[in-house]
């Protein structure tokens, strides 16, 4: 039997660790401060969509928040980055994990800001 119901943000936050939910809300608040953003919710994650495309996703997990973001470059090694994979000719998908609020710093904020530019179509330029 498949679960054909529509998933919501509340579904992902319900019954999650309160600290992980608080961290997810901080990420959501930061991303929404960049400009127009909508949520596209699936069973596996909450995707953040900019005016042109989805550019990041995150969900609370038992060990913090896990997610991904798309950049036009591959980031150097960082313990918060779990893996990096090329996506098409111009993008790299970065899988991340933040264990707690202390790992959500200006560096992470700058990565998410850069990813928002992808959501606005920066990767479509020359």
Q: What is the CATH number of the domain that holds 28?
A: 3.90.1150
What is the chain's alpha carbon radius of gyration, rounded to the nearest angstrom? 14
Question: Which pLDDT band holds residue 1 (cuts at 50, 70, 90)?
Answer: very low
62 domain residue, yes or no: yes
3 domain residue, yes or no: no
1 domain residue, yes or no: no
Quote the pTM value: 0.92
Per-residue pLDDT at 126: 63
87 domain residue, yes or no: yes
Number of domains observed in the structure of the chain: 1
> Which structural domain range is residue 13 located in?
9-120
Per-residue pLDDT at 5: 77
94 domain residue, yes or no: yes
Per-residue pLDDT at 23: 97
100 domain residue, yes or no: yes
Residues 6+ apart with CB under 8 A from 2: none
4 domain residue, yes or no: no
Question: Which pLDDT band holds residue 125 (cuts at 50, 70, 90)?
Answer: confident
Q: Does the structure show a pLDDT above 80 at 95?
A: yes
Across the chain, mean pLDDT equals 94
Per-residue pLDDT at 2: 54
Across residues 87-97, what is the average pLDDT? 95
Residues 6+ apart with CB under 8 A from 20: 60, 61, 62, 63, 64, 65
Q: Does the structure show a pLDDT above 90 at 4?
A: no
- Can you tell me the distance from the alpha carbon of 114 to that of 79, in angstroms, rounded to the nearest whole number? 19
12 phi, psi to nearest 5 deg = -70, -30
Put residue 31 in one of left, alpha, beta given phi > 0 → left and psi -120 to 50 → alpha. alpha
125 domain residue, yes or no: no
Across residues 49-73, what is the average pLDDT? 96
């Amino acid at each position: 039997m498949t679960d054909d119901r529509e998933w919501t943000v509340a579904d992902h936050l319900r019954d999650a660790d309160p600290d992980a939910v608080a961290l997810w809300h901080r990420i959501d608040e930061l991303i929404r401060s960049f400009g127009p953003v909508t949520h596209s919710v699936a069973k596996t994650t909450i995707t953040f969509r900019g005016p042109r495309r989805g550019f990041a996703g995150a969900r609370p997990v038992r060990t913090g928040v896990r997610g991904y973001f798309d950049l036009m470059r591959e980031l150097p090694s960082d313990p918060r980055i779990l893996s990096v994979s090329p996506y098409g000719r111009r993008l790299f998908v970065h899988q991340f994990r933040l264990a707690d609020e202390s790992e959500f710093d200006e560096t992470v904020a700058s990565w998410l800001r850069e990813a928002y530019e992808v959501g606005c179509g920066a990767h479509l330029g020359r």
